[in-house]
Amino acid sequence: MTCVWEGKVVEEYFVIILRTLFLYVMIIFIFRIMGKREIGELSILDLVVFMMIAEMAVMAIEEPEDPIIHTVLPMGVIVLIQILFAWFSLRSKSFRELLDGKPTVIIHNGKIDDKAMKKQRYNYDDLLLQLREKDIFNVADVEFAILEPSGKLSVLQKDKKTPHSLTLPLILDGQVQTTHLDMIGKTSFWLRKELRERGFKNVQEIAFCSFQNGQFYIDEKNQ
Is residue 164 domain-resident?
no
Give domain status of residue 163, yes or no.
no
Helix (H, G, I), strand (E, B) or coil at 33: helix
For residue range 75-134, what is the model confidence (pLDDT) as tens digits? 888 888 888 887 887 777 777 777 777 788 888 877 888 888 888 888 888 888 888 888
Domain termination site, one of 71, 98, 125:
98
Q: Are residues 8 and 33 in the same domain?
A: yes
DSSP string, 34-85: T----GGG--HHHHHHHHHHHHHHHHHHH-TTS-THHHHHHHHHHHHHHHHH
Q: Is residue 162 domain-resident?
A: no
* E strand segments, 67-177: 104-108, 111-112, 142-147, 153-157, 169-172, 175-176
| Separation of alpha carbons 184 and 165, rounded Å | 10
Residue 145 inside a domain? The answer is yes
197-217 pLDDT, tens digit per residue, is 888 888 888 888 888 777 888
Whichever domain contains 192, its CATH number is 3.30.240.20
Its domain, for residue 216, covers 169-220
> Do 43 and 149 meet the contact criterion of CB atoms below 8 Å apart?
yes
* Count of domains observed in the chain: 3
At 122-135, the pLDDT tens digits run: 888 888 888 888 88
Distance from chain centroid for Cα 107: 21
* Contact between 207 and 220 (Cβ < 8 Å): yes
Question: Same structural domain for residues 69 and 118?
Answer: no
Q: Are residues 62 and 114 in the same domain?
A: no
Output the pTM of the full model: 0.55
